[in-house]
Amino acid sequence: MIMSSCSLLHMADEDDDRVFEMGDYQGPVARWCSGCGDHSVLTAAQRLMADQQLKPETTVFVSGIGCSSRFPHYMKTYGFHGLHGRALPVATGVKLARPELDVFAVMGDGDCVSIGAGHWLHATRYNLDMVALLLDNNIYGLTKKQTSPTTPKGYKSNTQPYGSYLPPMNPLEVTLGITNASFVAQTAEWLPAHLFATLKAAYEHRGFAFVRILQRCPHFMQDMYSEAVKNTDLVQILDHPEGIKAEGIDKIYTNRLRHDPADIHMARELAEDMNTIRLGLFFRDESRPRYEETRALQKRTAREKMDLLNEDFDRYAV
């Protein structure tokens, strides 16, 4: 289902002197549960839009199915609320057809790393210039507490009442293992300064920027990350001049580890350790080839596209 929340399509031109504020990107009041981490991510995204002065009519948010996938409805930009697990192929199509647009894909843990896992792998390999946000609350929330691929082993859910059978999937480790990965970061919704700084770094990256956002679900996963919220020593911040620069958290989050995001081997080693909550930029390499640059894309008018489509239809007509 396509959903456009731009009130008026304003064609960009050289005389465009509009100045946008956060309120210019705010759609209807979000209907997530009180205390849901999605609210924090939404605010950070709107703050990013204003900070970068992104035009609503040239910005697209694409989602699949899940609590987080209502995101496009609450952004006053263009949006596409698609099928379960299919946010990335839709976002890929949008970016290839309209490479001048700013494209964001928003997914939940079940949406991305379960039914959408194949798309996630190949979107990383294609390395298109877009931002992919994984809002990971470790549970299927919209379908009422089902075990997801990132649910901790032993955690009881409505689909596995005796506890999750398997160790959780590690989205960071997986993404870092995919050929042509170019940007992998992790942040948390309860650190708004770090969250915003991470989204900004992801947007400024030239290539596929994968950001895992640790998130609390106040309804089904009340105890997840609760200790980390109260005890800042449980959170380790990856620190480096080329990493995430979040203002105002140095005195609060003193557990820091110097990590060069150009070192993919160390990034993989750090990501593999799931006993420590590490936030920051694990890896970045803007020299990796981007699909929209390596693939020859011929610009065609709408009429030319329709003519070519009809030619194909005629070719296979019986």
d(CA 255, CA 238): 9
| pLDDT score for 286 | 96
318 in a structural domain:
no
253 in a structural domain:
yes
316 in a structural domain:
no
309 in a structural domain:
no
- DSSP state for residue 28 in the 8-state scheme: S
Buried/exposed 248-265: b ≥16 CB within 10 Å, e otherwise: ebeeebeeeeebbbeebe
Q: Give rounded-to-5 percent helix, strand, coil for the chain.
A: 35, 20, 45
- pLDDT tens track of the chain, all 318 residues? 444 444 444 444 556 789 999 999 999 999 999 989 899 999 999 999 999 999 999 999 999 998 888 999 999 999 999 888 889 999 999 999 899 999 999 999 888 898 888 999 999 999 999 999 999 988 888 778 888 888 889 888 888 899 889 999 999 999 999 999 999 999 999 999 999 999 999 999 999 999 999 999 888 888 889 899 999 999 999 999 999 999 899 999 999 999 999 999 999 999 999 989 999 999 999 999 999 887 755 667 778 878 888 888 888 877
> Which residue pairs, CB below 8 angstroms and at least 24 apart, start in 282-286?
282/172, 282/176, 282/184, 282/185, 282/186, 282/238, 283/176, 283/181, 283/182, 283/183, 283/184, 284/182, 284/183, 284/184, 284/205, 284/242, 285/182, 285/183, 286/182, 286/205, 286/206, 286/207
- Per-residue pLDDT tens digits for 101-115: 999 999 998 888 988
Amino acid at 100: E
d(CA 202, CA 118): 22
Which residue, 146, 127, 128, is CA-closest to 60?
Answer: 128
Which residue, 299, 273, 257, is CA-closest to 96?
Answer: 299
Amino acid at 149: P
267 in a structural domain:
yes
- DSSP state for residue 160 in the 8-state scheme: -
Cβ atoms of 76 and 27 closer than 8 Å: yes
Cα 233–219–75 angle (5° rounding)?
Answer: 90
- Per-residue pLDDT tens digits for 123-180: 999 999 999 999 998 888 877 888 888 888 988 888 889 988 999 999 999 999 999 9
317 in a structural domain:
no
| pLDDT score for 85 | 81
303 in a structural domain:
no
178 in a structural domain:
yes
Domain around 46:
2-6+18-289
Domains identified in the chain, total number? 1
CATH assignment of the domain containing 81: 3.40.50.970
Which residue, 257, 226, 222, 171, is CA-closest to 33?
Answer: 222
